[in-house]
C-alpha cells in the first residue's frame, strides 16, 4: 500500500503493554505509516524520543518520568506478600475491573474526542477491558494482548486449557480447573456487573460474555508468545487471532559497554530483573542479592524504581534501568519474574531462564518455561540458597538446552513475524 495510514495506539498505562505497543508501532512507522500514541504524560518524553506523535491522556504535568514504572509499582504493592497464586488471583479478580474502569472512565471523553478529531484508519489497543470509545468508533480496531496467551481466557475462554494466572500445568487435574474457574468468576462478579452497566451507559455496541473482561475484535486480535511455547496444540484459535513470537522493540544505536567492575571478573554473565514492578519489592530484592552474592558468576541487575534503597554485592552491577535489549544478547542466563516481554525477548535471544513469578500471568509463564524445558521455575520467596545456586549451575552447564534455544532463536529472528503487522493493518483499510 503506497498511501500512508494513521494508526492510533491506546495501551493501558503499564510498562509491559506500552513496550509491546512500541514494538508494533516501530514496524508500522518503518513501513511508512503514521503512528500516534494516546498515553499518560509520564510516557510522553520516551515516546517522542522514538519519533512518535503523542496525545496526552489526563493532565500534562512537568516532570522527568520516562515511563509509568513508579506509578505501577505503587498500584501493586498488595501483591508483594508471599501468598499462593490462587489468593493473589482472587484478589486481582475482585479489584482489577474496579480500578481499570475508574481510570478508563476519566479517559473515555478524551478518547472519543481524539478519535473524532484524528480520524485514524485503525486503532490498536493493548488493554484488559473493552473501551466503548474504540469498539463504538466505526473504525477498524485491533485488540493486542501482550500477556501470556493462557490469559486470553479473560475474553476468549476455552475449557480445554486450565484457568489462567494460577500457574497450573496443562496435564493437571481438570476437576480442580472447574473449581478454580468458579472461584475466579465469583471473585469478579460484582465488578463485572458494574463493568457491564458502564459499557451500556457509555454506548458500547458490544458487551463481553458473562464475567469476561473484553471482547475479541471482529477485525483482528494479536498476542505474543513463541510458537514452541504456545498452547495452540491444545486450543486452536480463530483465524482473527494472530501470534507474534515477540513484540520486541528496536534497540537504539547506543552501545552498551560492560562495566569494568564485571569485565575484570571471571565467571558467566547473568541478568537479574524482576521487572518494573517486582523490583520495587525491596525485601525480596535484598533476599535474592544475598543469595547471589555467594555465586561464582557475575550479574547485571535491573534495580528498579527503589534502586536507592538497597546495595548490590561485589559480583554485581546495576542501575534503576538497564538497556535490556542490549544486555540480553551478551548474557548466558536470565533470572526473571516471568513478565511476557522479558520471556519472549529472552527466547528471541536464545537464553535459558530461571523464572521467579510474583503475580498474574508470570505464574503461567513460569510453568510453561518449566514444562517445556526452556528453564526452571522457583518460588522467589521460599527457594533455598542451594536451590537457586544449583539451578544456575544446571542451566549454565546444559549443552542440549543451549542447542535447543539457539535453534529456536534462529527461527524467530529469521522469520521475524512481527513484520506481518503491516499486512494485517493494511488489510483492514479498504
Give the CA angle between residues 422, 427, 430 to the nearest 5°: 130
Confidence of residue 68 (pLDDT cuts 50, 70, 90): very low
Least Cα distance to 80 among 380, 405, 333, 411 occurs for: 380
Q: What is the dihedral of CA 19, 22, 23, 24, to 10 degrees?
A: 130
| Cα–Cα dist 313/315, whole Å | 6
In angstroms, the Cα distances linking 40 to 21, 43, 56, 87, 216 are 14, 6, 6, 31, 25
- pLDDT band for position 2 (cuts 50, 70, 90): low
The stretch 155-176 carries a mean pLDDT of 96
* Amino acid 276: pLDDT: 81
Answer yes or no: is pLDDT of 83 > 90. Answer: no
Q: In this predicted model, what pLDDT tens digit does every residue of 129-144 receive, in sequence order?
A: 999 999 999 999 999 9
The stretch 49-75 carries a mean pLDDT of 68
Q: Give the 3-state secondary structure of residue 68.
A: coil
Sign of CA dihedral 144, 65, 116, 119: negative
Residue 107's pLDDT is what?
A: 94
Average pLDDT on 257-281 reads 92
Backbone angles phi, psi at 383, to 5 degrees: -60, 140
Helices marked H in 50-84 — which ranges?
69-75
Residue of 170, 280, 143, 296 lying closest to 224 (CA atoms): 143
Q: How far apart are CA 166 and CA 295, in angstroms?
A: 31
Average per-residue pLDDT for the chain: 93
Any bridge partners for residue 144, and if so which? Answer: 126, 222
**What grid cell was written down for 152?**
486470553
Q: What is the pLDDT of residues 270-311, one digit of tens each?
A: 999 999 888 899 999 999 999 999 999 999 999 988 888 999
Report which of residues 206 and 6 the model is more confident about: 6
- Domains recognised in the chain with CATH numbers: 6-87+106-248+417-428 (3.40.50.2000), 260-414 (3.40.50.2000)
In 3-state terms the chain splits into helix, strand, coil percentages (rounded to 5) of 45, 15, 40
Higher pLDDT, 180 or 61: 180
The grid cell for 319 is 542501575
Q: What is the pLDDT of residue 78?
A: 54
Amino acid at each position: 500500500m503506497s498511501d500512508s495510514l494513521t494508526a492510533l495506539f491506546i495501551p493501558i498505562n503499564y510498562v509491559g503493554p506500552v513496550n509491546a505497543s512500541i514494538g508494533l508501532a516501530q514496524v508500522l512507522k518503518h513501513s511508512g505509516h503514521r503512528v500516534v500514541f494516546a498515553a499518560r504524560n509520564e510516557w510522553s518524553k520516551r515516546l517522542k524520543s522514538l519519533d512518535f506523535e503523542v496525545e496526552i491522556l489526563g493532565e500534562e504535568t512537568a516532570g522527568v518520568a520516562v515511563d509509568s514504572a513508579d506509578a505501577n509499582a505503587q498500584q501493586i504493592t498488595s501483591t508483594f506478600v508471599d501468598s499462593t497464586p490462587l489468593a493473589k488471583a482472587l484478589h486481582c479478580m475482585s479489584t482489577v475491573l474496579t480500578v481499570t474502569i475508574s481510570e478508563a472512565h476519566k479517559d473515555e471523553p478524551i478518547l472519543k474526542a481524539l478519535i473524532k478529531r484524528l480520524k485514524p484508519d485503525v486503532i490498536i489497543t493493548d488493554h484488559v477491558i473493552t473501551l466503548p470509545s474504540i469498539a463504538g468508533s466505526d473504525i477498524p480496531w485491533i485488540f493486542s494482548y501482550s500477556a501470556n496467551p493462557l490469559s486470553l481466557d479473560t475474553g476468549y475462554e476455552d475449557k480445554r486449557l486450565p484457568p489462567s494466572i494460577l500457574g497450573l500445568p496443562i496435564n493437571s487435574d481438570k476437576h480442580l480447573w472447574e473449581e478454580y474457574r468458579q472461584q475466579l468468576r465469583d471473585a469478579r462478579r460484582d465488578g463485572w456487573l458494574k463493568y457491564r452497566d458502564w459499557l451500556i451507559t457509555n454506548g458500547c455496541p458490544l458487551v463481553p460474555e458473562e464475567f469476561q473482561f473484553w471482547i475479541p475484535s471482529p477485525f483482528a486480535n494479536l498476542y505474543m508468545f513463541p510458537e514452541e511455547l504456545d498452547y495452540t496444540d491444545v486450543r486452536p484459535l480463530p483465524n482473527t487471532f494472530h501470534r507474534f513470537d515477540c513484540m520486541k522493540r528496536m534497540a537504539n544505536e547506543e552501545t552498551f559497554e560492560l562495566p569494568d567492575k564485571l569485565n575484570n571478573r571471571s565467571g558467566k554473565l547473568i541478568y537479574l530483573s524482576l521487572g518494573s514492578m517486582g523490583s520495587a519489592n525491596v525485601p525480596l530484592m535484598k533476599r535474592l542479592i544475598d543469595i547471589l552474592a555467594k555465586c561464582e558468576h557475575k550479574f547485571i541487575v535491573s534495580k528498579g524504581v527503589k534502586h536507592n534503597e538497597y546495595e548490590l554485592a561485589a559480583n554485581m552491577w546495576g542501575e534503576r534501568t538497564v538497556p535490556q535489549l542490549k544486555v540480553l544478547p551478551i548474557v548466558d542466563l536470565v533470572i526473571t519474574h516471568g513478565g511476557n516481554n522479558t520471556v519472549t525477548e529472552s527466547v528471541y535471544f536464545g537464553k535459558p531462564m530461571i523464572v521467579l513469578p510474583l503475580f498474574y500471568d508470570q505464574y503461567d509463564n513460569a510453568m510453561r518455561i518449566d514444562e517445556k524445558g526452556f528453564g526452571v521455575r522457583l518460588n522467589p520467596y521460599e527457594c533455598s540458597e542451594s536451590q537457586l545456586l544449583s539451578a544456575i549451575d544446571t542451566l549454565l552447564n546444559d549443552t542440549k538446552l543451549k542447542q535447543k534455544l539457539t535453534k529456536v532463536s534462529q527461527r524467530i529472528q529469521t522469520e521475524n513475524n512481527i513484520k506481518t503487522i503491516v499486512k494485517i493493518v493494511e488489510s483492514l483499510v479498504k
